[in-house]
Chain A
Amino acid sequence: MADYVENDSVLEPTEVSEPTEVSEPVVEYDDAAIEAEYRARKKAQAEYDFAQPYDPEALLEVRHLRKAFPIKKSLFGKVQQELIAVDDVSFKLYPGETLGIVGESGCGKTTMGRTILKLHPSNGGQIIFNGQDITNVKSSKMRELRRQMQIIFQDPYSSLPPRSTVGGILSEPVEVHKIVPAGERKDYVLDLMDKCGLRDYYYERYPHEFSGGQRQRICIARALSVNPKLVICDEPVSALDVSIQAQIINLLKDLQRNMGLTYLFISHDLSVVKYISDKIGVMYLGAMVEFGKKDDIFENPLHPYTRALFSAIPNPNPDIKMNRMVLTGDIPSPANPPKGCRFHTRCPYAKEICKHIPPEYKEYGDGHFAACHLLEEQEG
């Protein structure tokens, strides 16, 4: 892993000026009113955004995506309590880019990836793929579109059907989407296997005969067999040995270059994300708290959560002192997120306002977004 951890200094928390207790005005917060106002504002914002024309250059545009799971239903099926796994996420992804999504377990990144692919039905927002709004598209049309948007799952063991041969698994999508005529199918698959580092005699073998790394290669080959434009990599190396991880990551990078792919790379491993991404999005409890170009984020992390995450990246250089920013408190339950800024319960810089009013997700630099009251204060 040493090749792709840069010998940078680990980031110091930037100085934030805190007003003294005396000069802070005592403000009464009416939570109900705040919430109502917040909702109305969000709704108006969303409506405005939905009406905007699609970005012609973006391959994937996600606007105010929302996914909620019902926890409690009344006797008649009306939802009484829900868990909001993806809360108002918006971003754009351009062709050839790799967007790395990071966050703790349970922050909603996997759900977001699957919702974008319509593997979960969304509960709000727009998903615009290749200039087309696919949010409400019919399932038969969606099946055709799936050829262009693929996914590689985290667990290579359960994502391959145990009773099919490798050849069968890889030929099936080719057959269903009619990529090449039937006669050329086997050669096409063998060529694909070669590109992914699989030997030709693996064609008749069954998934259970392979190691984790090889299985993941099979999954990659399967995803690429249909020549997609977008590939969502959902923690593809988390289940693999460290030594294999590097191989797979490099394979993904090579394939991206050769086939002109766009990646949405989900991971909780920051060093991997740093190596492979062009842009980075940081998620916490279902919301995007920071987003921007990789260099911007690493050199100048804005959100306190981002700063805490990055301070935890181990640096193999013993001479550089680690400046760990340790977060206090437990991660709150996603079913019951904190009021106001969702991060305030663990934020070392939390102020009174953070406990009541959710911060705005704003742009603070060229394509660098974040949502934090402290930044707003600094600005204005």
Chain B
Amino acid sequence: MKKRVLLSLRPTDKKGIFKAYIAGKNEKADDMDLYEVFDIIEDIKSDKAQVLDQTDIDRIADDIIADKRDAIDPEAESSQMAEDIKADKQANAFSEAEAEVLGAYIDSCEKDDAEIIEEANEIADKMNESDPPAVEDDEPHDKNVKLMSPTMMVVRRFFRSKLSIIGLIMVIGLFLFSFVGPLFYTQWGMSEPDSSPVTEYAESTFTFVVNGQTYEVRQSTESQSFYNTLAPASPSHPLGTDIEGYDVLARLMYGGRVSLIVSFLAVFLITILGVIIGGIAGYFGGWVDNVIMRLCDILMCLPGIPILLIVGFILDSQGFAESESRIYLLMTILSLISWPGTARLVRGQILSLREQEYMVAAEAMGYSAGRKIFKHLIPNVMPQLIVQMSLSLGSMILYEATLSYLNLGVRPPNSAWGTMINIISSNTDVLKHYPLVWVPAGICIVIAVLGFNFVGDGLRDALDPKARR
């Protein structure tokens, strides 16, 4: 395969366009834009091209990094790309020996175009002599440029935003904490009270009068509690214990499992229901659409928490009062009420996508309805759907926390983040003096919701960078 030799790269007067001198090309220097510059660098990395003139790439990279917007295309996601360019360039610094071998370290600023092109062609010929004859290809530039699929472009854009990465770290961190944590932190189980007896002292003072003399007695009574409740932080209890003597950190981890799983489950259900029902409404239209939309209207007017209170009662009456599956059932019912939001989104997307010309083309090609829906419509609905899903995760976590706080959801001795906060609604002592019991759970909730929101926002920007935030 013929190697491309990049002799020189210079910015031109036109914003974002560079002149590149490449060996093997005959007529004149090519105009390249920022993306192509980047791709040249990638080729250098993968050894499909060599650069002979270092100075210009330095200058260009510096220009980009210094954010001189005159030099670059303002539409490009500049600074991160600039960092990438500089990093790549450093990684592929040419050794002097290699430059000598090719015998042409050119100071391109002083030579004019014609001279450079001549030298470029000479070098190219020299290289061709040593290379095996290449496959006939009269568009080498077109062929060697690496292009990415839309999905990869989205992924790349996602990782450009610091906030998205932070969000991702937060979420992954919480997952590891909740699911992997207990594997390492095996000291305490979820509802394993610390039964190391603790000696407590209670002081009381009383006065009495004897023979006209007032005596004040201070008495200290010793008592032993059964469980080590409300203990302060210590090596054996990094976050102390709660009012039942359970280790707070352990409950935080196990609670995280429930909170996270339940939220994902709810979002998953909502999405499936929303996609199917919204898809049907959007695709078939007519009375089907009408009926479904009315159903959505009705469900959206139901008050969330009060209805769940009723459902809670029903569950109690069916014997689920203390069960672990309580929260799962409650969140399932919540999903059954919350799918209209997603359904509307999907329906709207489908209504607008249906009229896209490639859908008419699909009809003209004779594709069946199923093929049109699943191979053409749904993949284009996915982006918005994914964004909505990740944003809903945040609200599902909040819902679960609220339900558990109200003692509807996860009840002790089971643990979830909201449950751990429930204690302070009835016990002001804990609220005032024992923050370690309830604040960490709240912090976890905040981290989870923020994390999901950052990821969701990042996805939204990655999928449609032109949308205004």
Contacts and interface: CB of A to CB of B under 8 A. Distances in A.
Chains A and B in contact, CB within 8 Å:
yes
Interface stretch (A3-11, A142-150, A291-299, A327-335): A142-150
B366 interface: yes
A176 B367 contact: yes
Contact of B364 (A151, A155, A172, A205): A151
A201 B380 contact: no
A94 interface: no
B356 interface: yes
B79 to A, nearest CB: 24
A153 interface: yes
Contacts of A177: 366
B357 A155 contact: yes
B204 interface: no
Interface string A106-149: 00000000100101000000000000000000000011111100
B291 interface: no
Among the interface residues B139, B365, B368, which one has the most CB atoms of the partner chain A within 10 A? B365
Interface in A150-206: 150-151, 153, 155, 158-163, 165, 172-173, 176-177, 199, 201, 205-206
A206 B149 contact: yes
Contacts of A160: 358, 361
B150 interface: yes
A173 B361 CA distance: 11
Contacts of B147: 205-206, 209
Interface in B133-190: 139, 142-143, 147, 149-150
A117 B356 contact: no
Contacts of A155: 357
Interface in B33-65: none
A208 interface: yes
Interface string A271-308: 00000000000000000000000000000000000000
A163 B365 contact: no
A162 B361 contact: no
B371 A158 contact: no
B358 A176 contact: no
A147 B143 CA distance: 33
Given A163-B150, A206-B149, A209-B147, A158 B364 contact: no
Interface residues of B, number: 23
A222 interface: yes
A113 to B, nearest CB: 10
Contact of A206 (B150, B358, B368): B150
Nearest to A151: B364
Given A205-B147, A206-B149, A208-B150, A159 B361 contact: yes
B453 to A, nearest CB: 27
B237 interface: no
Contact of A172 (B150, B363, B365, B379): B365
Given A153-B360, A159-B358, A206-B150, A144 B380 contact: no
Given A119-B363, A162-B150, A205-B147, A143 B358 contact: no
Nearest to A117: B364
A143 B368 contact: yes
Among the interface residues B142, B357, B364, B376, which one has the most CB atoms of the partner chain A within 10 A? B364
Given A205-B147, A206-B150, A159 B357 contact: yes
Nearest to B359: A161
A206 B150 CA distance: 8
Contacts of B362: 161
Contacts of B365: 146, 150, 172-173, 176, 222, 226
Nearest to B383: A163
A209 B36 CA distance: 13
Contacts of A162: 150, 358, 380
Contacts of B376: 161
A143 B368 CA distance: 8
A176 B366 contact: yes
A39 B365 CA distance: 37
Among the interface residues A147, A161, A173, A199, which one has the most CB atoms of the partner chain B within 10 A? A161
Contacts of B367: 143, 172, 176
Contacts of A206: 147, 149-150
Given A163-B380, A206-B149, A146 B357 contact: no
B358 A161 contact: yes
Contacts of A205: 147
Among the interface residues B143, B360, B362, B366, which one has the most CB atoms of the partner chain A within 10 A? B366
Nearest to A226: B365
Contacts of B142: 199
Nearest to A140: B368
A143 B147 CA distance: 35
A158 B356 contact: yes
Interface in A216-239: 219, 222, 226
Among the interface residues B363, B371, B380, which one has the most CB atoms of the partner chain A within 10 A? B363
A201 B143 contact: yes
Interface string B73-96: 000000000000000000000000
A150 B150 contact: no
A205 to B, nearest CB: 6
Nearest to B147: A209
A235 B361 CA distance: 15
A266 to B, nearest CB: 14
Contacts of A114: 360
Interface string B356-400: 111011111111100100011001100000000000000000000
A199 B139 contact: yes
Interface string A70-82: 0000000000000
Contacts of B361: 151, 153, 159-160, 219, 222
Contacts of A151: 361, 364
A161 B366 CA distance: 15
Interface in A64-99: none
Contacts of B363: 119
Contacts of B143: 199, 201
Given A205-B147, A209-B147, A150 B356 contact: no
Contact of A158 (B139, B149, B357, B366): B357
Contacts of B357: 153, 155, 158-159
23 contacts: A142-B366, A143-B368, A146-B364, A146-B366, A147-B366, A151-B364, A153-B360, A159-B357, A159-B358, A160-B358, A160-B361, A161-B376, A161-B380, A162-B150, A163-B379, A165-B149, A172-B365, A199-B139, A199-B143, A201-B143, A205-B147, A206-B147, A222-B361
Interface of B: 139, 142-143, 147, 149-150, 356-358, 360-368, 371, 375-376, 379-380
Given A142-B366, A159-B358, A163-B380, 7 more contacts: A143-B368, A159-B357, A162-B358, A172-B367, A199-B139, A199-B143, A206-B149
10 tightest Cβ-Cβ pairs between the two chains A and B: A146-B366, A143-B366, A158-B357, A159-B357, A161-B358, A173-B365, A151-B364, A159-B361, A163-B379, A159-B358
